[in-house]
Each structure stands twice: as C-alpha cells, then as structure tokens.
C-alpha cells in the first residue's frame, strides 16, 4: 500500500475541505462528549473493494484511539449487503471521518470494479489492461493503485517516467522521425533514460515508428482490421498498445488483434463509485 508520506497530504486536504477553521458543527453540537459506539461498513452493490488502508488512515488521523477492523482485503469481491468491516470508539470521531472515508473508498472501489470488468473481458487473450493519466487531480496515486487492485496495470505515472510522443508532439515537430530524433538527442544531453512510446494514426506512421526502433507503438483510434494489419507490421519488434474509445462492448475484439496492451481512460475518468455505506450499529456512554 502507499506510504503515509504519500497518503497524508491527500487525506489532510480532503479533511480541510470539510472542516475549514470551524470543524464539524453538526457533530460537535449534537453528539455528547464521551459518547461511544461502533459503525459497520456495508456494500450496497456487487464490486471490488479498494481503499481499506486509506480509510484506516483517515480514522487514525481523526482519532488514533478508533479501532478499525476489515474482514476483506483490497481487491476482494463483495456483494450487495456484504458487511465487510467495523469501526468503534468515539462516535463523534467516526462521524467526522465518515464522508472522507466513504468518498475515497467508494471512488477507489469503483475504479477497481470497472478495471476488473475490463480484465475479465480480455481474459485468455494475453492482452494487459492499462490505465491512463486521465485521473482526478490530486487522486492519481490512489486511482492508479485501485487499477492494480482490479487486475490492471499502470501506464506511466506522470510526464516524467516515460516519453509518450503523441499526435500534437508529432505535428509540432513536423514528423515522427523529427520528434523521436530530437527527443533522443535532448534526452541524451540531459541524462534522461526512459522508454519511448509513439502514437500512430495510420499504417504509414506505424512503419515509420518501426524503422525508428521505439519501445512501444500506440495504435490510436484505429478500427480492428487496421489494427490487426499494424500488429502484423510490427511483428514483435516492439510493444503494441491500442487506445481510443475503449468500451466493454469492443475491448475483446480489440484484444484479439494481438495487441500487448489496451489503455482505457474510462477506468478513471468516468467510473461510477461503488455504493458503500457506514451505519451506526451500537451506541453507549463512556
């Protein structure tokens, strides 16, 4: 799981949105001091759970005395009505953490659930499902972690760990050859060593990229017959990645063209959250 130095700034920012400089006025003015109890996590739909450690850390930052127990682990499946965890201690603390906990867990579980559906759709083809950089600002590391819990794999994390020469780079540079050539010259001068991927839109661009010996060729918005021809042209000279308008309805057909990877922006940019609730189970005075 992600280290606290990565998690804590995200969680702190989320809590600050809620509390500002006044705190939780509803809880502070309705729950007596010392009121103890517990609340249980219940999935209200079928899906893949993700974000348990993140949720535990939210509770810990709100009140380190809270006790959190989960009966599942990240990546496990749940069904509607599944009781999968409990938190106990100060009811005021539980209520203050509730929305941040659910927002993060529901989002991450939604990403994991949709990823798992895409992974199932291409099962047996050898094709790997990838995420993209089309993530929620500030939540990328959480969403990309959720993709792995759903059985997918991370593409580049940002602009720093892989060179992806896309259509706008190519058009601005003048050609694929010009863009790749300049990148290799400048990256060598700056001591940058990262894989190079090139986006292609036509079979002629595929042939040009193959001649340049790049690490991966993206086949962008191609129909499946054209994509199959592109894979045949590349024939193992480098990795292949299909991209553009990937849906559950067509992803199997795309995988059967023989591509190594399929990148799916929808995993993070338009995913529905998994419906999860946190319900008070017991109340007692300390």
The Cα-based distances of 127 to 15, 257, 272 in angstroms read: 39, 10, 24
Please write the tens of the pLDDT for every residue from 212-270.
Answer: 999 999 999 999 999 999 999 999 999 999 999 899 999 999 999 999 999 999 999 99
* pLDDT > 70 fraction of the chain, expressed in percent and rounded: 99
**Which of the following is catalytic: 134, 201, 207, 229?**
134
> Catalytic site residue 185?
no
> Catalytic site residue 166?
yes
Domains of the chain: 4-113+272-285 (3.90.1170.20), 119-269 (3.20.20.70)
> Catalytic site residue 190?
no
Residue 78 pLDDT > 80, yes or no?
yes
CB distance 77 to 50 below 8 Å: no
Task: Tell me the C-alpha distance between 118 and 262, whole Å.
Answer: 10
**Which of the following is catalytic: 40, 44, 153, 166?**
166
Identify which of 102, 92, 100 has the alpha carbon closest to the alpha carbon of residue 24: 92
Residue 73 pLDDT > 90, yes or no?
yes
CA-based end-to-end distance of the chain = 34
**Which of the following is catalytic: 74, 208, 220, 260?**
220
Please write the tens of the pLDDT for every residue from 182-217.
Answer: 999 999 999 999 999 999 999 999 999 999 999 999
CB distance 47 to 113 below 8 Å: yes
């Amino acid at each position: 799981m992600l280290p606290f130095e990565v998690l804590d700034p995200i969680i702190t920012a989320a809590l600050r949105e809620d509390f500002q400089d006044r705190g939780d006025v509803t809880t502070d003015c309705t729950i007596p001091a010392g009121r103890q109890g517990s609340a249980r996590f219940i999935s209200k739909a079928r899906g893949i759970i993700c974000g348990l450690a993140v949720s535990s850390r939210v509770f810990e930052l709100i009140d380190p005395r809270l006790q959190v127990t989960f009966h599942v682990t990240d990546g496990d499946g749940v069904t509607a009505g599944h009781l999968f965890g409990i938190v106990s201690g100060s009811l005021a603390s539980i209520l203050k953490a509730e929305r941040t906990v659910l927002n993060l867990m529901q989002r991450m579980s939604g990403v994991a659930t949709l990823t798992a559906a895409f992974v199932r759709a291409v099962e047996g083809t050898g094709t790997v499902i990838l995420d993209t950089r089309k993530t929620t600002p500030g939540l990328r590391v959480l969403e990309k972690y959720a993709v792995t819990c759903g059985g997918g794999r991370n593409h580049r994390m940002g602009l720093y760990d892989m060179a992806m020469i896309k259509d706008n780079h190519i058009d601005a540079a003048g050609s694929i050859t010009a863009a790749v050539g300049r990148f290799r010259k400048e990256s060598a001068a700056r001591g940058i060593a990262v894989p190079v991927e090139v986006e292609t839109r036509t079979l002629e661009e595929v042939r040009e990229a193959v001649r340049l010996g790049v690490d991966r060729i993206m086949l962008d918005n191609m129909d499946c017959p054209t994509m199959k021809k592109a894979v045949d042209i590349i024939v193992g000279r480098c990795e292949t990645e299909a991209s553009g308008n990937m849906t559950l309805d067509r992803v199997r057909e795309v995988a059967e063209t023989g591509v190594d990877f399929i990148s799916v922006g929808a995993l993070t940019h338009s995913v529905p959250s998994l419906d999860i609730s946190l319900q008070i189970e017991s109340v007692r005075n300390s």
